[in-house]
Amino acid sequence: MAAAYPNGLNFDDVFPYNKFEEVTRDGQAMIKIPKVYVKAGYTSPTAEMPEKYGWWISEFPQEGFHCHPAFMYQGEELDYFLLGKYEASNDGNSKAQSLANKTPWVNITTPNAIAACLRRNTGEAGSEQYGWHIESIYEYQLISLLMLIELGAPDVQSIIGSGNINGSGVVATGSTNAKWRGICEHWANAWEICDGFKTGASGQALIWDKNGNQTYVDTGKVVADKGFARGKGTDYDFADVFVPTDDGKGSTYSGSTSDGVWTAANCVLYLGGGWRSGARDGAFTFDSSFAAPYSNSSFGFRLAKYDI
């Protein structure tokens, strides 16, 4: 989406939107996402505007900002990561690919989807055949954050397009109107299995540490449809993600975003909604109500890559 906004700001000229780049790695269509620094918090209320929770992004490190965890790998900052332009499909050899006009790979469990992405890693460090992985919650929800900042509202279905939300099955990659800055079907069509998040025995949020070590941190906060989680610990910060819990400030999660929330204990994560979820699909749709061995015809996934 490229739009001139009422205040004259054209996001095509603004970092990081002007640095998104379509690239090819190992034959795969990818989008290069540049590193951003972020901060979040409540604004001071004024006579013109009540207190609001907001996010700020920066191209450079500065006071109050931190590197978004999507760009952290084993304690080091990466200059960018690569995200599949398309939902993953099967290359015919049980290896995930990111190509246009392919049938999304669905009816796959979370462990098998993770393995399908890792099978692309057939080369040495620094090669095009190294650094492949399944999309993480940090990568997915960074895109949602950047969309929110650009669009000024969370309802991407109304602003951009609904995508495949009331179909009879998944449709070919890149064939819907759910497109934003080169990324196709970030919402709707197939739910996206995302690594880095799960619920514990009490339904609490377990999330990867913010330093890129891919170790799970128990936040102690129960996932529930009550608003975006706030707060942070030594190894995590809820400002970096959009996780619905019972301590959100203000209206309910679904009421704030028009997107759906489903959750249960001991489950993994699916984001974005699928071909039969209707109006509850969207960039903030959240489902942690199925265990890792589960699969069905609306659950898919997406490739990502570190150039390391």
Give 202-229 pLDDT, tens digit per residue. 999 999 999 999 999 999 999 987 778 8
Q: 14 CB contacts (<8 Å, ≥6 apart)?
A: none
CB 306 within 8 A of CB 73: yes
In this predicted structure, the answer to whether residue 253 has a pLDDT above a threshold of 60 is no
Using alpha carbons, list the distances in angstroms from residue 52 to 49, 68, 282. 8, 21, 22
pLDDT at 246: 73
Q: 157-184, pLDDT tens digit by residue?
A: 999 999 999 999 999 999 999 999 999 9
- Any idea which architecture 11-45+52-305 has in CATH? Alpha-Beta Complex (3.90)
Pull the structure tokens for residue 205.
């949020």
For the chain, what percentages of helix, strand and coil (3-state, to nearest 5) are there? 15, 30, 50
Percent of the chain with pLDDT over 70: 94
pTM of the model: 0.94
Confidence band for 267, pLDDT divided at 50, 70 and 90: very high
Q: Give the C-alpha separation, 265 to 72, whole Å.
A: 28
**pLDDT given for residue 256 in this prediction:** 58
Q: Convert the pLDDT of each residue in 56-78 to its tens digit.
A: 999 999 999 999 999 999 999 99
